[in-house]
């Protein structure tokens, strides 16, 4: 019995579509979260955990692909700047902030902004982004998708 070209194409499409759905929901390991189009929530500065007081906004960074810009919230002030990425190299430059004064978050904000400016490389593993200066871990962030 010969199977027509159209039926073979339909079978191939069905196997491809249903095969990919099975892997998606089977508990298979997730791929790494992309650097761009992800909201990266600050978890740690160096090895110290960062806490956000109840009712306050989480500290985060977002990298936009189309403009190679970075923006986010550092604890008291919003920030924005430019970034360059190539392989595992990440450089953040021209970082500016709004100018509010918030004594309770000042130290964390300064350390977060300093970590961003000192970053020379990065590593993404699953949903975690780690920023480094050489081999020194500067910050760890958790990925959350945004549009």
* Residue 14, pLDDT above cutoff 70: no
Residue 105 lies in a domain: yes
Digit-coded pLDDT (tens) for 26-45:
333 457 899 998 999 999 99
Q: What is the pTM of this model?
A: 0.77
Residue 97 forms part of a structural domain: yes
Give whole-number Cα distances, 137 to 14, 47, 90, 132, in Å. Answer: 46, 8, 13, 5
106 domain residue, yes or no = yes
User: Out of 1-5, 19-23, 46-50, 63-67, which region has the weakest mean confidence (pLDDT)?
Assistant: 19-23
**Angle CA(55)–CA(56)–CA(62) in degrees, nearest 5?**
135
What length is written for the chain? 147
Judged against a pLDDT cut of 80, whether residue 62 lies above it is answered with: yes
How many domains in the chain? Answer: 1
| 27, part of any domain | no
* CATH of residue 42: 2.40.128.270
- pLDDT score for 2: 56
Instruction: Mark out the alpha helices in the chain (DSSP H runs).
Output: 5-25, 106-118
Domain annotation covers residue 111: yes
Burial class (CB in 10 A: 0-12, 13-18, 19+), 28: exposed
Residue 76 placed within a domain: yes
Of 62, 97, 101, 69, whose CA–CA distance to 83 is shortest?
69
Examine residue 5 and state whether it is found in any structural domain, yes or no: no
pLDDT average, residue stretch 67-75: 96
Domain of residue 51 covers 38-145
Residue 119 in any domain: the answer is yes
| Residue with more model confidence, 100 or 12 | 100
Sign of CA dihedral 27, 28, 34, 37: negative
């Amino acid at each position: 019995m010969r199977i027509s070209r159209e039926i073979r194409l339909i079978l191939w499409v069905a196997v491809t579509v249903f095969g990919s759905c099975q892997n998606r929901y089977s508990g298979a390991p997730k791929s790494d979260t992309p650097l761009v189009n992800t909201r990266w929530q600050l978890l740690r500065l160096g090895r110290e955990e960062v806490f956000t007081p109840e009712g306050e906004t989480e500290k985060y960074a977002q990298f936009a692909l189309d403009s190679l810009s970075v923006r986010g919230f550092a604890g008291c002030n919003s920030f924005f700047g430019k970034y360059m990425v190539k392989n595992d190299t990440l450089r953040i430059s021209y970082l500016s902030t709004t100018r509010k004064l918030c004594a309770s978050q000042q130290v964390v904000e300064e350390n977060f902004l300093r970590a961003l400016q000192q970053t020379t490389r990065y590593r993404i593993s699953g949903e975690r982004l780690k920023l480094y200066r050489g081999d020194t871990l500067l910050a760890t962030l958790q990925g959350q998708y945004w549009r």
